[in-house]
Amino acid sequence: MSIYLFWISLSLLLYTYFIYPLILKILSRPLGPQKHNIEKWPDVDVILSAYNEELCITQRLQNLLSQDYPGKLRILVASDGSSDNTADLINNIQDTRLVPFCFTENRGKIAVLNDLVARATAEYLVLTDANTEFAPDAIKQLILSFTPNVGAVCGELHLITHDSNQNSDGLYWRYEQSLKRQESTLGALLGANGAIYAIKRELFQPLSSDTVVDDFCIVMNIKRQQYDIIYNEKAIAYEEVAPSLQDEFGRRVRIGLGNYRAFSSHLWALSPRQGIFSLCYWSHKVLRWFAPHFMLAAFITNLFLLNSSFYLVLLIGQISFYIIATITTYQINRGAKVTKIARIISFFVSMNLALAFGFVRFLRNNERGGWKRTARQGEIK
């Protein structure tokens, strides 16, 4: 039995991270040029909720107000009971396109998001984050992708990594972006980039208060209504990578918690009746979410197969892999320079360890969808 569990676990890990991307590359088609012409540009409401974002909220709102969008644009921005100067900074901006909501009580991002969408009136909504910056034509590019069958459009997020930053999240994100582009050509795009995406307002379904990965759940709900989800690589946003593995780890634990909650809420996507969408969902999301379980199973079952020198070598390889990850993480946190391969190993193990912690928090099932800010490069002293 151990030998079967070992090879199943190892095979699923290899499949989701290496084989599936190859299959996707074979099946996918190039993203065609954008040819959708618009005679009358529709109204757009930007939805932005913030908590303790005094360091970036003014710059973010000015960035949105300077968008080159030909139609009517409003920005619905809310401070969710911020304890810093976020609310004051929002109120200090005098522009009729800005609609501020400064709530005194901190209720969590999901409650604020539901409130803002309920108060929106535009045909299309653009959802984004406070620490993101849009290219001048980002909103225009998002709207260009909508047709009657398209319910949501995901933009492209470029992660900015400073020279001193050894967090490999930017490298992993480029790998993820490649998968998103290819899945989009197959009509199987899974979720959106929370920093930049747009939806048809009428398709929004209010989220439960314990939702964490709101961008994923909003778009999955739209897909369930039989609308297409499109990726537009010309709609560009920028965001800084978390300055350290420690900051990134906390964010990924929370995302892990949200992923498992989303999994239990979207069991419909597992059905083979969903066709290629289901295949991509299993391959890209579900197997990734359970990668920590496969890694643990591969290690434990390997311990019961040591009567063979082949499996002894595999166990030594696994132990060495985790030792490298541990030492590299320690070195990075101390500010030492490490090789690119070592950084990738460290990031991979850290990412899956965070997922495992998220799974434990999911089993406890006692947390609401509140706020947890990730530190940014400019905030590190």
- Return the residue matching tokens 């300077």: 66
**Cα(283)–Cα(360) distance, rounded to whole angstroms?**
23
**How confident is residue 73, by pLDDT bands cut at 50, 70 and 90?**
very high
Alpha-carbon span 244 to 177, nearest angstrom: 21
Tokens coding 263: 């999994």
Give pLDDT, residue 33. 55
pLDDT beyond 80 at 353? yes
Note the pTM of the prediction, 2 decimals: 0.90
Alpha carbon distance 234, 134 (integer Å): 11
pLDDT at 226: 96
Q: How many domains does the chain have?
A: 1
pLDDT score for 169? 62
pLDDT at 326: 96
| 167: pLDDT strictly greater than 70 | no
Q: What band does 35 get if pLDDT is binned at 50, 70 and 90?
A: low
**H-helix or E-strand containing 75?**
strand 73-80
pLDDT of 18 above 50: yes
Q: What is the pLDDT of residue 334?
A: 83
* Residue 67: predicted pLDDT: 97
What CA–CA distance (Å, rounded) separates 13 from 294?
7
The range of the structural domain enclosing residue 34 comes to 1-381
When pLDDT is cut at 50, 70 and 90, the band that residue 85 belongs to is very high
Per-residue pLDDT of 95-110, as tens digits, reads 999 999 999 999 999 9
* Model confidence pLDDT, tens digit, residues 172-202: 888 999 999 999 999 999 989 899 999 999 9
For residues 281 and 270, the answer to whether their CB atoms sit within 8 Å is: yes
End-to-end Cα spacing for the chain: 53
**Nearest Cα residue to 167 out of 346, 288, 355:** 346
Contact between residue 229 and residue 151 where contact means Cβ atoms under 8 Å apart: yes
Q: What is the pLDDT of residue 365?
A: 79
289 phi and psi angles, rounded to 5 deg: -65, -30
pLDDT (average), residues 31-52: 84
Decide if 219 contacts 229 (C-beta within 8 A): yes
Helix (H) or strand (E) holding 35: none
Q: Mean pLDDT over residues 212-233, rounded?
A: 96
Q: Which of 151, 160, 152 is nearest to 132 (CA)?
A: 160
Q: 378 pLDDT exceeds 60?
A: no
pLDDT of residue 248: 77
List the CATH number of the domain containing 297.
Answer: 3.90.550.10
> Taking residues 31-55, what's their average pLDDT?
85
Q: Binning pLDDT at 50, 70 and 90, where does residue 166 land? A: very low
What residue has token string 């992660």?
A: 159
**Residue-level pLDDT at 321:** 97
Question: Does residue 304 or residue 164 have the better pLDDT?
Answer: 304
Percent of the chain residues past pLDDT 90, beyond the cut? 80
- The one-letter amino acid code at 363 reads L
For the four alpha carbons of 191, 120, 138 and 29, in that order, the dihedral sign comes to: positive
Average pLDDT in the chain: 91
Look at residue 250 in the predicted model and tell me its pLDDT: 86
**Residue 146 CB partners (closer than 8 Å, separation 6+):** 36, 124, 153, 198, 200
